[in-house]
Structure 1
Amino acid sequence: MGMKNTKTAIIGANGYIGKHLEFYLKRMGLDPTCYDIQDDSRENYKQVDITDKESVKNIDINVDYIYMFAGLTGTYAGFDKYETYVSINEIGLLNLLDAIRNSEKKPKIVFPSTRLIYKGVDKPLKEEDEKETKTLYAINKLACESILYAYNKSFDIPYTIFRICIPYGNMLSTDYSFGTIGFFIKQAKAGKDIALYGGGDAKRTFTHMEDLCYQIVQGSMSKDSNGEIYNIGGQTLSLREAAEFVAKKFNTNVVAVEWPEKDFRIESNHTYFDDTKIRSLLCIGEYKQLQEFSKDL
Structure 2
Amino acid sequence: MDLKGKKVLITGSEGFIGSHLTERLVEIGADVTALVQYNSFNSWGWIDTFDENVKKEINVYTGDIREYDSISKAVKGQDVVFHLAALIAIPYSYQSPMAYVRTNVEGTANVLQACRECEVEKIVHTSTSETYGTALYVPIDENHPLQGQSPYSASKIGADKIAESFYRSFNMPISTIRPFNTYGPRQSARAVIPTIISQILSGKKEIKLGSLTPTRDFNYVKDTVEAFIKIAESEKTIGQVINVGSNYEISIGDLVKKIIDIIGEDIKIVTDEKRIRPQKSEVNRLWADNTKIKELTDWTPKYTLDEGLSETIKWIRDNMKYFKTDIYNV
Instruction: Report the TM-score when normalising by structure 2.
Output: 0.81
Question: Which residue in the other structure is 2:251 paired with?
Answer: 238
Question: Which residue in the other structure is 2:102 paired with?
Answer: 87
Q: Say which of 106, 111, 128 aligns to 1:114.
A: 128
State the shift of 1:230 in Å: 1.0
- Is this contact kept in 2: 1:165–1:206, CA < 8 A? yes
Q: Say which of 187, 193, 202 aligns to 1:181.
A: 193
Q: Name the SS of the counterpart of 2:216 in structure 1.
A: strand
Tell me the distance in 2 between the aligned counterparts of 1:59 and 1:95. Answer: 11
Give the counterpart letter for 2:259 in structure 1. Answer: V
Tell me the distance in 2 between the aligned counterparts of 1:143 and 1:93. Answer: 9
Equivalent runs, 1:184-199 vs 2, <5 Å:
184-192=196-204, 193-198=206-211
Q: Say which of 98, 116, 119 aligns to 1:101.
A: 116
Question: Which residue in the other structure is 1:222 paired with?
Answer: 234
Equivalent pairs counted in the alignment come to: 292
Alignment of 1:53 with 2:68, yes or no, is yes
Tell me the distance in 2 between the aligned counterparts of 1:140 and 1:177. Answer: 22
Question: Which residue in the other structure is 1:36 paired with?
Answer: 36
- Is this contact kept in 2: 1:75–1:135, CA < 8 A? yes
Give the counterpart letter for 1:225 in structure 2. Answer: T
Tell me the distance in 1 between the aligned counterparts of 2:84 and 2:264. Answer: 33
State the shift of 1:258 in Å: 6.7
Q: Name the SS of the counterpart of 2:279 in structure 1.
A: helix
State the shift of 1:53 in Å: 1.9
State the shift of 1:270 in Å: 0.6
Give the counterpart letter for 1:8 in structure 2. Answer: V
State the shift of 1:118 in Å: 1.3
- Mean alpha-carbon deviation: is it higher for 277-286 or for 154-163? 277-286
Q: Say which of 247, 266, 280 aligns to 1:252.
A: 266
Question: Which residue in the other structure is 2:93 paired with?
Answer: 78
Tell me the distance in 2 between the aligned counterparts of 1:89 and 1:272. Answer: 24
Q: Judging changes above 3 Å, is the alpha-carbon distance between structure 1 residues 8 and 295 closer, same or farther for their aligned structure 2 residues?
A: closer
- Is this contact kept in 1: 2:2–2:233, CA < 8 A? no
- Mean alpha-carbon deviation: is it higher for 246-255 or for 184-193? 246-255
State the shift of 1:140 in Å: 0.9
Q: Give the superposed CA RMSD.
A: 2.4
State the shift of 1:256 in Å: 5.6
- Is this contact kept in 2: 1:106–1:156, CA < 8 A? no
State the shift of 1:252 in Å: 3.2
Q: Identity of counterpart residues, as a percentage? A: 24
Tell me the distance in 1 between the aligned counterparts of 2:88 and 2:300. Answer: 30
Runs of 4+ in 1 over 4 A off after TM superposition: 40-43, 175-178, 258-262
